[in-house]
Amino acid sequence: MAPGFPTSRLLRESAPVAVVLLFWVLLSSLLPDVVTDAVLLAGVVMALLLVVVRGVALAAALPTVPAPDDTGAVLRENVGVALGAGVWFLAALVVYAAEGLWNLLGIPGAFTTPAPGLAFVFSATGVATVVLYAVAVGLPRVRRATDGGGSHGAGRDQDVAPVDD
């Protein structure tokens, strides 16, 4: 893991993603089946927007650490990221395990189990957690590689042409 971005912080930073996805899953459950997939996709897009924006903000605050150059270091970095994302994947597995209990209880008024929606939220948050780390840690690495390790991109936006409205 990159200094300043331990697994515990990665997990904390990914929690708002779960909230966004949960909102969209709940919204999709209120709508006709014909639009459910589109609403879930919209939720994924909004979650990714949050991840990218937050990742860029974190990239500005985290120290730039060169990419690992040996197999052991690469593996250690991936293990740390997998632990942060793994909490969310484990939550998805627990939801499906609890689905059996839900079915045994036969909760009145509930015709379907919430397990698929919740598992989607947790699984997608796990993937988004990895993307968050990749943006937050990868962006400074890319900047360092492209500007020779100097300015970390400072002043580079002056080279970009303005967008016409």
Q: Using an 8 Å Cβ cutoff, are 130 and 55 in contact?
A: no
pLDDT in tens, 43-97: 999 999 999 999 999 999 988 888 888 899 889 899 999 999 999 999 999 998 8
This prediction has a pTM of: 0.82
- CA–CA dist 44, 38 (Å, integer): 10
- CA–CA dist 16, 54 (Å, integer): 10
- CA–CA dist 135, 59 (Å, integer): 7
pLDDT in tens, 25-56: 999 999 999 999 999 999 999 999 999 999 99
| Secondary element (H or E) of residue 77 | helix 71-105
**Local structure of 69: helix, strand or coil:** coil
